[in-house]
Chain A
Amino acid sequence: MSINVKNIHKQFGEFTALDNISLDFPSGELVALLGPSGCGKTTLLRIIAGLEQADHGDIILDGENASNTHVRDRQVGFVFQHYALFKHMTIFDNVAFGLRMKPKAQRPSESKIREKVFSLLQLVQLDWLADRFPAQLSGGQRQRIALARALAVEPRVLLLDEPFGALDAKVRKELRRWLRKLHDELHITSIFVTHDQEEALEVADRVVLMDHGKVEQVGTPEAVYNHPQTPFVYSFLGSVNVFHGRAEQEYLKVGSEQLRHHNESYGHAKEVFAFARPHELKIVDNSHHEGVSARISRILSFGIETKVELDGLNENSGQHYEVHLSQQQREAQSLLVGQEIKLVPSTLALFPREAVALQPSEKEG
């Protein structure tokens, strides 16, 4: 079932949680709402579910305006970050809850309920836990039960609010893969909220990037990662190096130093931010006439790549850079901690400075 969000606006007092958002979620897709905390992604999800009311705008489910339909009647499955399992009920009763709450006329018989609950528990591979209480389960198991419970009422869409947010890294990875597999089996239109870029890029068919109540970019994981359209997307997806400077013809002036860039369209003396990914930076000798000076502060050489962390010098002191080198590059150059070098980008993405609201703390996502 398709979901259309039309001009949704939500205000909490002075704070604008959602600023006139319009989005289309095609049938059968698994979409990630990605953004830093406070960007409005959870609010949007709750409005789609009907747990929250928008100030104005419409939610259209399957072509029908559902803005005034009660949660109860929207037929959406909602999965909460902290599972929201009923502690006083067994796992079986938790999953059976939605079926048992149906009006008498639509309620299946107890044997039908049993059948259905066990088929769902098998789907989430936890049928051996039917008689336990939620407190006896691990976090990952609880979230799978929460999912089974939501699926029991055969929802038309599945909404997941930071479903793996409360789990440790290993279980997270496992569940991620499992959710993707489950979606490929069921093909139910699903939206999940996350602040973890890796999770969004790995699991979703499409990613919606949000910041400050606005949609920044929508696209496939590849598209948003390889072609970020806004400075926010650039800095939020993956680590990135920023240069503050002035564009002058084909050069970017960073303090007294200069870098070459290839964006011809930038005119004279424009204040810009320039972005380069860690693998797009080269370390060159200090005598090189182009490049930004920096001092190596740490060299981390585990894994396939070597990570070099650097501190800016001169006008750029206080600025940090990160460069990723392959093992060959690492071996070709003899780098030492404390050494002063210059950084030269192979490519630079420029954005006019006034358009940028950087959040360095969110850089690592």
Chain B
Amino acid sequence: MNTLRQFSVLPGFGLSLGYTLIYLSLIVLVPISAVFVFTSQLSLSEYWQVVTSPRVMASYQLSFGASLLAAGINAIFGVLLAWCLVRYSFPGKKIVDALIDLPFALPTAVAGIALTALYAQNGWLGQIIEGYFGIKVAFTPIGILIALVFIGLPFVVRTVQPVLEEIDTELEEAATSLGASRWQACRYVVLPVLLPAIMTGFALAFARAVGEYGSVIFIAGNIPMVSEITPLMIISKLEQYDYTGATAIASVMLIVSFILLLLINLLQSWAAKLTGRNA
């Protein structure tokens, strides 16, 4: 690592650190601290009351719970998708590859409306699922989960893909020649190397899901205590011109998200160390 005032053949540390700090401050830190400045207009008891009201508490549970679950689902299927794209060649591979990024490009409201139309009681899929299995999807937490899985899909695929491409098939051949089964070769040889990338993808998908508004709002139905997400609570406060209330809830979201992301990052660097990459 490079520290200040140390000679280096590749200079630029001071310049790039300065640039990074100013840029981060302008783009991230200033807007976020505004949230806390606004929030500080409330007294502590008022603040506590706003952020712990039953409806808001229910929304935290839904938002963070559904986001974690969605990121988990994306982690599993994202690895599967990346595996197929890296290891096999099949007709239409390029198209599949491009499709994966589509949830990035699509306006989230479009995704929300499309999903709602599909999963509503009279939609194509909604009809089947509700008719045969008796499960309501649209306007329930399940609908929210589906929307969050949809928008989080690209993250794990795109973080795992390059790492997987670098894994030599020779490693699996070596494992197999040593008597490992296909499952053992994947479990003990491939997965440990992929783990840090999977966790990065998981963290990104989770962060995206927590902040998602547009696509969720249509399919959620927004029933109090059942299918209201935290971003919706913030919007509804704003619509009532309760700016400080909105920022109070936002501050809780920020803090919880920050802690969770920090935890995932720590876990990830621990995993990376475990796989000998930093050794």
Please report A residues at the B interface, Cβ cutoff 8 Å: 49-51, 71-72, 76-78, 80, 82, 84, 86-90, 97-98, 101-102, 133-136, 149-150, 152-153
Across-interface contacts of B171 in A (CB, < 8 A): 84, 86
In the complex with contacts A86-B171, A88-B192, A71-B277 CB distance below 8 A: no
B265 vs chain A, min Cβ distance (A): 19
In the complex with contacts A87-B275, A88-B277, A135-B279, A51-B173 CB distance below 8 A: yes
Across-interface contacts of B25 in A (CB, < 8 A): none
Chain B residue at smallest Cβ distance from A51: B173
12 extra A-B contacts, CB within 8 A, seeds A77-B177, A98-B179: A71-B173, A71-B177, A72-B180, A72-B181, A80-B174, A88-B275, A97-B180, A101-B179, A101-B180, A101-B188, A102-B179, A134-B276
| The 4 residue pairs across chains A and B that have the minimum distance between CB atoms | A88-B275, A98-B178, A133-B276, A84-B174
In the complex with contacts A97-B180, A101-B179, A87-B174 CB distance below 8 A: no
Judge whether A49 and B177 touch: CB under 8 Å.
yes
User: In the complex, which range does the number of interface residues on chain B fall in?
Assistant: 20 to 34
Judge whether B168 and A84 touch: CB under 8 Å.
yes
Option from B178, B192, B276, B279 in Cβ contact (under 8 Å) with A101: B178
Contact mask B154-192 → A, CB, 8 Å, 1/0?
000000000000001011011111111100100011001
In the complex with contacts A84-B168, A87-B193, A78-B275 CB distance below 8 A: no
B102 within 8 A of A: no
Judge whether B279 and A133 touch: CB under 8 Å.
yes
B99 within 8 A of A: no
Task: Give the most central of A71, A88, A101, A135: most B CB within 10 Å.
Answer: A88
B57 within 8 A of A: no
Option from A76, A82, A87, A136 in Cβ contact (under 8 Å) with B177: A76
Judge whether A89 and B180 touch: CB under 8 Å.
no
B42 within 8 A of A: no
Judge whether A153 and B170 touch: CB under 8 Å.
no
Instruction: Give the complex CA separation of A77 and B177 in angstroms.
Output: 7
Judge whether B193 and A82 touch: CB under 8 Å.
no
B271 vs chain A, min Cβ distance (A): 10
Option from B168, B173, B181, B193 in Cβ contact (under 8 Å) with A78: B173
B267 within 8 A of A: no
Across-interface contacts of B179 in A (CB, < 8 A): 72, 98, 101-102, 153
B182 vs chain A, min Cβ distance (A): 9
In the complex with contacts A82-B168, A87-B193, A88-B192, A97-B178 CB distance below 8 A: yes
Instruction: Give the complex CA separation of A96 and B181 in angstroms.
Output: 16
Judge whether A136 and B170 touch: CB under 8 Å.
no
Judge whether A80 and B170 touch: CB under 8 Å.
yes
Option from B178, B184, B189, B277 in Cβ contact (under 8 Å) with A153: B178
Across-interface contacts of A51 in B (CB, < 8 A): 173, 176-177
Chain B residue at smallest Cβ distance from A102: B179
B109 vs chain A, min Cβ distance (A): 43
Judge whether A97 and B170 touch: CB under 8 Å.
no
Chain B residue at smallest Cβ distance from A98: B178
B80 within 8 A of A: no
Judge whether B170 and A149 touch: CB under 8 Å.
no
Instruction: Give the complex CA separation of A134 and B189 in angstroms.
Output: 14
Across-interface contacts of B110 in A (CB, < 8 A): none
Chain B residue at smallest Cβ distance from A136: B279
B114 within 8 A of A: no
A185 vs chain B, min Cβ distance (A): 22
B274 within 8 A of A: yes
Judge whether A150 and B178 touch: CB under 8 Å.
yes
Instruction: Give the complex CA separation of A89 and B184 in angstroms.
Output: 15
Chain A residue at smallest Cβ distance from B178: A98
Instruction: Give the complex CA separation of A97 and B175 in angstroms.
Output: 8
B171 vs chain A, min Cβ distance (A): 5
